[in-house]
């Protein structure tokens, strides 16, 4: 366990993304080290907290896991407004969820905290054989537009390489990782990277969603509900 420094940072972190992208599974894996094969959709939002020791600071992440269903979209601003950080999640096996992630990026750029630390997570990277957002190495020989039959209907699916996903993240001021809540690939990494970037993102005046104090916070792991 790392040594806790003199400073303690409380940071509000929100997860955004389409229904079924795996937001709740990422949080559950990070906070409790668990993965549920079948998990009910989040209703409204679920709250978790986790405290991390990063460099000379203790970072307490207050995590809001938001619902991905369209009918709850209007509630999202109350969770990301004032947040110090966000993880926008998409499912690599569903191109439509990547397109939805882009819309969340655009919404945060217009309405979110301008100093927000934001990550783009390509989740479910364990589903390589079902990938619709493929790696450059595996699919560099395919045309840009791929036709796929699904339930008797033809859908045009734009194939995007991993390098293009990284480029999109960089162009929009995000950092990018592919994750898997099922196998735990990069799950801790993405949350720790958020925590590491928070002190550097802090301006002279503390932004909304971040509180800096001189006393260390107690290490705790709590959750309000499973989703």
Q: How far apart are CA 66 and CA 210, in angstroms?
A: 19
CATH number, position 42: 3.40.50.300
> Does the residue 1 lie in any domain?
no
Three-state DSSP at 95 gives helix
Question: Which structural domain range is residue 22 located in?
Answer: 7-223
Q: What is the DSSP letter of 14?
A: E
Mean pLDDT of 30-49: 79
> Does the residue 2 lie in any domain?
no
Summarised one tens digit per residue, pLDDT across range 77-117 is: 999 999 999 999 999 888 888 999 999 999 999 999 999 99
> What pTM was computed for the model?
0.73
> Does the residue 51 lie in any domain?
yes
> Does the residue 207 lie in any domain?
yes
Mean pLDDT of 155-174: 71
> Does the residue 145 lie in any domain?
yes
> Does the residue 166 lie in any domain?
yes
Stretch among 21-35, 66-80, 121-135 having the lowest mean pLDDT: 121-135
> Does the residue 179 lie in any domain?
yes
What pLDDT sits at residue 140?
43
Mean pLDDT of 25-38: 88
> What is the number of structural domains in the chain?
1
* 85-91/153-158 β-pairing: unpaired
Helix residue ranges per DSSP H, 17-161: 23-32, 76-80, 95-111, 136-139
CA-based end-to-end distance of the chain: 29
> Does the residue 43 lie in any domain?
yes
pLDDT above 60 (res 4) = no
Summarised one tens digit per residue, pLDDT across range 171-214 is: 999 999 999 999 999 999 999 999 999 854 444 344 455 544 44
- If pLDDT is split at 50, 70 and 90, which confidence band does 67 have? confident
- If pLDDT is split at 50, 70 and 90, which confidence band does 39 have? low
């Amino acid at each position: 366990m790392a040594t806790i420094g003199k400073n303690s940072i409380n940071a509000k972190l929100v997860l955004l993304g389409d229904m079924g992208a795996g937001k709740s599974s990422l949080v559950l894996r990070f906070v409790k080290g668990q993965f549920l094969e079948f998990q009910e959709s989040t209703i409204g939002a679920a709250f978790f907290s986790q405290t991390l020791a990063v460099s000379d600071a203790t970072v307490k992440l207050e995590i809001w896991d938001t619902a991905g269903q369209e009918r709850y979209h209007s509630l999202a601003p109350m969770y990301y407004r004032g947040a110090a950080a966000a993880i926008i999640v998409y499912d690599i096996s569903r191109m439509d969820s990547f397109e939805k992630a882009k819309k969340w990026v655009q919404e945060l750029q217009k309405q979110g905290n301008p100093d927000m630390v934001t990550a783009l997570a390509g989740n479910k990277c364990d589903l390589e054989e079902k990938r619709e957002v493929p790696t450059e190495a595996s699919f560099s020989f395919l045309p840009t537009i791929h036709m796929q039959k699904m339930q008797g209907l033809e859908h045009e699916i734009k194939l995007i390489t991993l390098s293009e996903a990284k480029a999109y993240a960089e162009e929009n001021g995000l950092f990018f990782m592919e994750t898997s809540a099922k196998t735990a690939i990069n799950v801790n990494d993405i949350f720790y990277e958020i925590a590491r970037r928070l002190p550097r993102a802090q301006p002279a005046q503390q932004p909304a969603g971040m509180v800096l104090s001189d006393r260390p916070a107690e290490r705790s792991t709590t959750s309000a509900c499973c989703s």
